[in-house]
């Protein structure tokens, strides 16, 4: 469960992170670096693909600056996952709403 989000900071199950994260049902991967800072490509989500989630929520930053490549969405949908792309504050609420399902959040914490 995500307890709190503000620009540059997220609190997951009581632990604070200050870098981009991927939140899985059973763990958090912090320091999520991508090929390009404000784009998400297939090679950036290999860990998500291996987890085979039912829902993937992308938090695109406080101002929605991150772009999720169309190939990423296509691949996840081909695997049967629902893909939701939202500004991070809204993505947090969406993730928490689906917390009892096999959901993953990939979130950019700043712009």
At 91, which CATH number?
3.40.1230.10
Total-model pTM: 0.97
Question: What range does the domain containing 53 cover?
Answer: 2-107
Residue 66: pLDDT band by 50, 70, 90 thresholds? very high
Encode pLDDT of 2-57 as tens digits: 999 999 999 999 999 999 999 999 999 999 999 999 999 999 999 999 999 999 99
Domain total of the chain: 1
Closest-CA residue to 84 (of 107, 110, 111): 107
Joined tokens for residue 91:
């993505």
Q: Which residues of 45-78 are buried (b: 16+ CB within 10 A; e: fewer)?
A: beebeebebebbbbbbbbeeebebbeebbebbee
Closest-CA residue to 22 (of 52, 57, 70, 63): 57
């Amino acid at each position: 469960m995500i307890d709190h989000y503000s620009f540059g900071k997220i609190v997951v199950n009581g632990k604070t992170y200050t870098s981009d994260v991927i939140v899985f049902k059973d763990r958090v991967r912090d320091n999520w670096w991508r090929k390009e800072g404000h784009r998400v490509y297939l090679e950036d989500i290999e860990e998500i693909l291996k987890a085979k989630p039912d829902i993937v929520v992308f938090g695109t930053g406080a101002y929605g600056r991150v772009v999720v490549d169309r190939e990423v969405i296509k691949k996840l949908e081909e695997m049967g996952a629902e893909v939701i792309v939202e500004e991070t504050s809204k993505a947090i609420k969406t993730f928490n709403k689906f917390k009892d399902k096999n959901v993953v959040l990939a979130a950019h914490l700043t712009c």
